[in-house]
Amino acid sequence: MSKAILIVDDDELMRSFLATVLSEEGYRVEEARNGGEGLTHLGKADFDLVVTDLRMPDVSGLELMQEGKKVRPETRWIVITAYGSIGGAVDAMKAGASDYLTKPFRNPDELRHVIERVLREADSETKISLLSEELGRQFPAAETIFLGEKMERVRNLVNDVAPTTATVLVTGQSGTGKELVARMIHKLSPRREGAFVAVHCAALAENLLESELFGHERGAFTGAVSARKGRFELADGGTIFLDEIGEISTAVQVKLLRVLQEREFERVGGTKPISVDVRVIAATNKDLKAEVAAGRYREDLFYRLNVFPIVLPSLVERRETIHFLAGYFLKKFSIAFGKTIAGFTPGARSALENYPWPGNVRELQNVIERAVILAQGEIDVKHLNLESPRTLLAPAESVLKENERDTIRKVLDEVGGNRKRAAQILGISLRTLQYRIKEYGL
């Protein structure tokens, strides 16, 4: 579901401008004409972010934020002030605002950058703050993670390396559980009380990844209206997990090498060295030795990362664990969706056993989650939809469109209309799901 933003400004033109820009970015936007109306909105609904002018009659932006935080403590705030009134913005930052903007804006991109960053930081900090609770409630038992002879060997390696400070490189196909193993190493280490900060390197462009990892100083680039910490600083005293480390550019490789060698770096646009105490765990599905030989990856960085290698087997290599894992996911999603599913029919068990599982454990999890949504009483072959890997929606000539429509509707209902989550469960892209929703008038 898209993020919800409340705009509070007594200037109708400014309010309309903000609402137009943010709506075009896909945010759900509501407007309030003054501070009192803003408090009314906050009393009725939850917002991810409030963008408010500081100077307003009746209730000022600062007063609105102070009262609003009592009602919605998790909501983030950005304040807007005139260029000559920075003092008020400083007071707002001290009171808990995430950032401020000065008007008039140079261009809409300044607004977009600040809001995107504040919301991204909020998501990251929420994940970090909830980690202990998440591990307590959702982290699978070690017996589940390390089921089977080959994973038992992995478990021994994890137990050996966890108490140390050694850098670990986890390799294996996509979906084999590399992040889960990294979290287990952190959980068993002396750093378990510190943060576990995950960065998915391939998801960010080079300039964004550098800022995400090392932070930036104010004015380092357009939209950098204030300094911010990077993931390495957030992970100080804990563990940073660098997923898809084989996808980073040469420039980022150089900076990362320095962190591994000297445990210090500079923020983007900065000159002051920042020291951190961070345990690094990296992961990739690439053959980094081959990347080094091809000249695409620095050899010195590879050896710094590959201090303690752990290789994860594919699900097909540990096929004897499929039924146990399927049962674990069945129980997990039955509880999550409030359903009673007795188990698998013999046909379903045979299908699970013989399927090639190109997506490994992650694909198995998605298949079982989808099956729990579709099944009543017992999971059968038809609920697994394993005819062709990676897709639920078979060609129209072989499956009635009515069945497609009903399946999509049912999954959307189960996930509360969250299209991104529904697409993951269905095993299709978000764009394909949106096309189908439009096609079927859902």
What pLDDT shows up at residue 77? 92
**Long-range residue pairs from 141-148, CB within 8 A, at least 24 positions apart, any chain:** 142/184, 144/324, 144/325, 144/328, 145/177, 145/180, 145/181, 145/184, 147/318, 147/321, 147/324, 147/325, 148/318, 148/320, 148/321
287 and 336 in a common domain: no
Domain count, the chain: 3
Closest CA to 178 of 189, 187, 186, 169: 169
147 and 95 in a common domain: no
247 and 147 in a common domain: yes
Closest CA to 80 of 58, 50, 59: 50
What pLDDT shows up at residue 71? 81
The letter for the amino acid at 311 is: V
357 and 287 in a common domain: no
What pLDDT shows up at residue 300? 94
Q: What is the pLDDT along the chain (442 residues), one digit of tens a residue?
A: 578 999 999 999 999 999 999 998 889 999 999 999 999 998 888 899 999 999 898 888 989 998 888 888 888 999 998 765 667 777 787 778 888 888 877 778 888 888 988 888 777 655 544 443 443 445 567 777 888 889 999 999 999 999 999 999 999 998 899 999 999 999 999 999 999 999 888 877 777 888 889 888 887 776 666 778 889 988 999 999 999 999 998 989 999 999 999 999 988 888 889 999 999 999 999 999 999 999 999 999 999 999 999 999 999 999 989 999 999 999 888 988 888 898 999 999 999 988 999 889 989 998 999 899 988 889 999 899 885 434 444 443 334 466 677 778 878 877 777 887 888 777 777 777 877 787 777 7
Instruction: Please state the pTM of the whole predicted model.
Output: 0.60
| Close Cβ partners of 196 (under 8 Å, ≥ 6 residues apart) | 128, 131, 182, 183, 186, 235, 238, 239, 241
169 and 260 in a common domain: yes
305/301 Cα distance (integer angstroms):
6
85 and 112 in a common domain: yes
227 and 164 in a common domain: yes
Q: Choose one of 294, 311, 328: the last residue of a domain.
A: 311
Q: Choose one of 277, 311, 345: the last residue of a domain.
A: 311
406 and 381 in a common domain: yes
Report the CATH number at residue 156: 3.40.50.300
Residues in a beta bridge with 165: none
Structure tokens at 169: 């490189």
Report the CATH number at residue 38: 3.40.50.2300
Closest CA to 215 of 240, 191, 193: 240
Strand pairing of 239-243 and 196-200?
Answer: parallel
360/357 Cα distance (integer angstroms):
5
Give the Cα-Cα-Cα angle 96, 98, 99 (nearest 5 degrees): 120
282 and 182 in a common domain: yes
160 and 25 in a common domain: no
What pLDDT shows up at residue 345? 93
Rg of the chain, C-alpha, whole Å: 25
189/437 Cα distance (integer angstroms):
46
Domain that holds residue 333: 316-440
Closest CA to 140 of 395, 368, 408, 331: 331
DSSP letter for each residue of 30-90: EEESSHHHHHHHHHHS--SEEEEES--SSS-HHHHHHHHHHH-TT-EEEEEEETT-HHHHH
Residue 297 is given by DSSP the state S
Report the CATH number at residue 333: 1.10.8.60
Structure tokens at 216: 């930036």
Q: Choose one of 123, 150, 173: the last residue of a domain.
A: 123
What pLDDT shows up at residue 403? 67
382 and 250 in a common domain: no
428 and 281 in a common domain: no
